[in-house]
Chains A and B, each alone.
Chain A
Amino acid sequence: MSFEPKIVAFLCNWCAYAGADMAGTSRLKYPGNMIAIRVMCSGRVDPEFILEAFEKGADGVFIGGCHPGDCHYVSGNYRTRRRVEMMKRLLEEMGINPRRLRLEWVSATEGQKFARVVKEFVEEIRQLGPSPIKKEEAI
């Protein structure tokens, strides 16, 4: 059976989630491998969520937030940027390919961009193969 990546996406309410909506209402096609979780701000995404998503079986984790300067809560997305940067390095030291974690800025009008980055990400994860992290299996 061919490998279908499972992607968990955290999308901020004000931009990325609206962008995903836009992609939908514009009838743009993108792969259905993604489970979207709406959060009020990308800054709500505690790095623990990222690790937990991987432990529960995600092959990739996607975070979508407002463009720098546009965060509804002023600086949430800057925190996210730093956290993601640090998480990537942590994942790498754990022996996990940091490309499994992706941060993108998507505004409410960028339905096109949303569809494109999701498609790219799904393809990238498909190439990387299944994540080795799943906890239950390891035990």
Chain B
Amino acid sequence: MKKKIAMYWGAGCGGCDVSLLGIHEKLLDVLEKADIVFWPCATDFKYEDLEKMEDGEIDIAFYNGAIRTEENEKIAKLLRKKSKILVAYGSCATEGCVIGLANLYDRDEIFNAVYLDNETTPNEKKIIPQGMEKEGIELPEFLPSLKTLEQVVKVDAAIPGCPPPSPVLEEALNALLEGRTEFGKEVALCDECPRKDTKPDKIEIERFYRWHEKEDDGSCFLAQGMICMGPATRAGCGGECTSAGIPCTGCMGPVPKVENQGIAMLSAIASIIEDMDEEKERAVMESIKDMVGTFYKFSTAKLLPYGRFKDES
């Protein structure tokens, strides 16, 4: 019997929906084994259709995007109820992704930055979004912090990546359709990086560079003094970024069995720097700007699920 699958788009950029189409004709193979019963981005289903389904009626539901609004949260819970297997699809659902960096700010700060004091989109009349009472249209509440899917409901499997690269996605879809919830590589990106032979044991540098500050000589980015998250990031993408001349920023999340990707990388960086005197060392450390943005670009929501702490005294 054909499986019933669903795909939902929470707080995200839409790239995940596109990535599913990005497997091209392989999608047809999937559709031979499964029927889509809910996919707001591509098909005409409404929330009522979902509500009317029996509990557990959907075999596999994919949730992409994070939980940022009441609406996201409500649908996450609804999908959980209606599905046998709930899959966090992509980095937002799994780890909060780039939009999780918003957890460094509170709701008011975000609101003002977006609508009121944004330099590139002046809003002289101070127009802010609001529901339309007469038409009965309400805006969903913006939650105090951004959450991953797992922080809201039980999740059975996760497909990493921002968005999941095609080979990763294909493997995951095949596994899930066969009833397996574990898939993907167990090694770090360095293992499949085209630059791997130039990876040093120790790095001797005076400062770290951001990738636009230095010309790439084609060797391991760490050896060049550019932070590359490869050692702490799960393999699977084949080094899409590193082969295109850009250091890995870690979208595939941690290697399985590693809890905290950011701290693993922070620790690795501290370990591979050559021993030097304290002053020099401090200068090297200080050249890493933006610790959270560098090491937790995709997982701030896991580091700060309730937002930034207030311990300034």
Chain B residue at minimal CB-CB distance from A43: B271
Judge whether A31 is part of the interface by a CB distance below 8 angstroms. Answer: no
Interface residue count on the A side (C-beta < 8 Å): 28
Interface residue count on the B side (C-beta < 8 Å): 32
Minimum CB–CB distance from B293 to chain A (whole Å) comes to: 8
Binds B, one of A12-20, A34-42, A107-115, A128-136: A128-136
Judge whether A29 is part of the interface by a CB distance below 8 angstroms. Answer: no
Once A48-B259, A138-B305 are accepted as A-B contacts, the answer to whether A90 and B266 lie under 8 Å apart by CB is yes
Chain B residue at minimal CB-CB distance from A46: B267
Judge whether A87 is part of the interface by a CB distance below 8 angstroms. Answer: yes
Once A48-B263, A51-B260 are accepted as A-B contacts, the answer to whether A79 and B310 lie under 8 Å apart by CB is no
Contacts of A78 in B (CB 8 A): 275, 281
Contacts of B278 in A (CB 8 A): 68, 81
B window 136-151: CB within 8 A of A: none
Once A51-B263, A85-B285 are accepted as A-B contacts, the answer to whether A90 and B313 lie under 8 Å apart by CB is no
Q: Do A47 and B263 touch (CB < 8 A)?
A: yes
Of B259, B295, B309, most A-chain CB atoms within 10 Å: B309
- Per-position binary interface string of chain A over residues 49-87, scored 1 when its CB falls under 8 Å from any chain B CB and 0 otherwise: 001000000000000000010000001001101110111
Minimum CB–CB distance from A110 to chain B (whole Å) comes to: 19
Minimum CB–CB distance from B14 to chain A (whole Å) comes to: 29
Q: Do A82 and B309 touch (CB < 8 A)?
A: no
Contacts of B264 in A (CB 8 A): 48
Judge whether B303 is part of the interface by a CB distance below 8 angstroms. Answer: yes
Judge whether B185 is part of the interface by a CB distance below 8 angstroms. Answer: no
Once A47-B267, A85-B281 are accepted as A-B contacts, the answer to whether A90 and B311 lie under 8 Å apart by CB is no
Closest 4 CB pairs of A and B: A95-B309, A82-B270, A95-B308, A83-B270
